[in-house]
Structure 1
Amino acid sequence: MNHKSKLIESTEFNELAKLIQKQFEEDCPELSLKISTLQSELKQLERLRQGWQRSLGNPDLAPETRSALEQDIADAVKQGYEIENRISELESASSKTREALDPVAIAERLDSLAKLLEGDHASAMNVALSQHIEGIYCNDAGKVVVRMCRLGALANPEEMLHLLARPDVDVSDSQDTGTESIRNKGRRRTRRNLGDHFEDDDVADFVNDFAVDRHRYSQLGDEWFTEDVFHIPDRPPCWSAAHAREVAEYRLDNEASMEETVDHFKKTMPTIRKALKYAKEHHGIDALGKAISQPSRRYWAKDHALQVAQFFRRPGASVKKAEAVFGKSQPTLAKAKRLAVEIEKAKETASSPD
């Protein structure tokens, strides 16, 4: 048993087919009722025409009345032709509707769509999805509206548009829907290279033209569409933006160097710089530049001289380890060691007896 046969025999598919039939009947008035109404109009029009025709046989009929009746008859004949054409269209549409709603036809189209989406022919997928998706509309606030045509793969798009065409709607007019406020003119769509995906060139040309036509659904009423609305969540701010004020205020309050600020926040130097730039641009706090930490940098070696000296007295102490512990460069550490020697000598001199 192939995939299509399994689909047709499944309980879920039969329930879906019933729902499609029910929804179609609810959304589209019975074609037979339309045909019956038009046939009644045609009969009434024919009775009027025959009555006017008999009236013209009166030799005493006033010229003005005769002229008016002749015009009425001409209008009735023209209207009659229009009604007959419309009845023929609806009768043809009725037949196509029955074919479109046939479960086997639906299964074939769903099976075909599934195989297409599982394949790797992107252009053919795009063309096929154009029969399901009227458009995707976005705005700057992160709102996304996906407008789907409920006809989907029920039938050939040309047949369905012919069936449901509304004579009071110009194909060039755009729909006034809930998405109108976020519609743009849209980019120009280009025809797809379908290769040999379609055996029939005429079918390939039609579906291609249908896919690139921005007004392909203009003759369908809003009842044939659904809209799924999504909102793109706001991205959380990056660390540098979220902590910009905190970083800038820390550096100003503590006259901290960039190295000290990096060590305090456990972030990289580029991240700290980015935070300080953000604070300046968005919070008006300027904590950039060497001048912020100049006083602390100038006296660091003196203030930490004894600590550095004590560190170097430990077994295994090295400059590299000292740089990692104190976060200072080798020249600064060397200066601190020299100052430590001077401080210790000064203490010895002060404590020695005269």
Structure 2
Amino acid sequence: MTQPEISQQVAEQLRAATQHTSRISRFYAKFARIVSIASVSVAIPFSIYHMVFGNIQVALFLAPVIMLQTYLAYHFICKGYNRNLAIILVVMQMVCTVALVAMFGPSAIVWLFVTGVTSFFLLSVRIAVFCNIAAAVAVSSLAVLEPAFLVRFLAAFALFNVCLYAFSQQLVARTNELELMLTIDPLTRAGNRTSLELALARIKSQAERHGHAATLMVIDIDNFKRYNTDLGPREADELLRKIADVIKHRLRPTDSFYRYHGEEFVLIAENTPMSQATYLAEDLRKRVEKRIQCATVSIGVTDVRPGIDVYEALKRAQKALVNAKTIGPNWVCFDTNESEPDIKQNDFWQDLVDSETSEYAESTVPVAPVKRVVGA
């Protein structure tokens, strides 16, 4: 029953990573730096060229653009990605492109395709589509283009944006799938250890800052090694999946469920006192017993309150699970908070029986916890 200890340092690092930046935002920051630096690198020689060859109007037009691009490059390099500045960068590039098309004609229209790609990589899909449509309308209205060339350009640019939109949607779907794979156990579709540590860090922060109570449950399949030996690994995996499905179908949207280690699961019931969570634990035990004919579960329950470390609470829940298994299979055992000695077991159960309006209490099991749930 001894499980590897959860590293608080790892959990804190994961929480810090998710609070400050995600992998997607780091990608955006990197791409924004590349685009802004490339824009400055191209604009400066272009401006010098036109100044040397007497086209002062273009050089003066590009001077403030270069200054703004330099500032954006500095910001993206030193401070990371900023959505508003990314919009400014894309809009500025498109305005410059439209102005160049108006000055030089169709020979400069190729730059509109470059800015179109930039908008899809730096902005959300909807904003990128809006910016590209606005640029195409501006080119059609301001630039003097031959009708035949204008029709060919609009058709090509429309098809170009359709392809970019499809690629962006596919990229988002693949990214979401990869993110899901990193946090979900592939067999049971419950959260994995990484997502569990993030959840523990979150409820710890909520308990410290806002005083929100939460309840932890450690759920273990009774005699699972025997099932694995008698039925084989494939059937044992199927048993794990079925039990996980039974448990997940009972949970509220605010509850979270994780595969902790082997045949053990952890359930976090947020904003839930012990009295309500005990009803939930007993109901889960009964549901597994009723719907999975060949298997039962034992459950250890404890609460997380302000001033109580979540990792210590998880150890207490494991201790309660050990006590439940010591009594026998198919039991629920709760761990009372030692810091509150005024809560006696008899009083606790009397309050539990009287709480008919409990959120988790159901008409089919009004007083069933008294039979199967005991204090640790």
TM range (shorter): under 0.3
More contact order relative to length (CA 8 Å, sep ≥ 6): 2
Q: Normalized against structure 1, the TM-score is what?
A: 0.24
Return the index of the structure with the highest Cα Rg. 1
Q: Normalized against structure 2, the TM-score is what?
A: 0.23
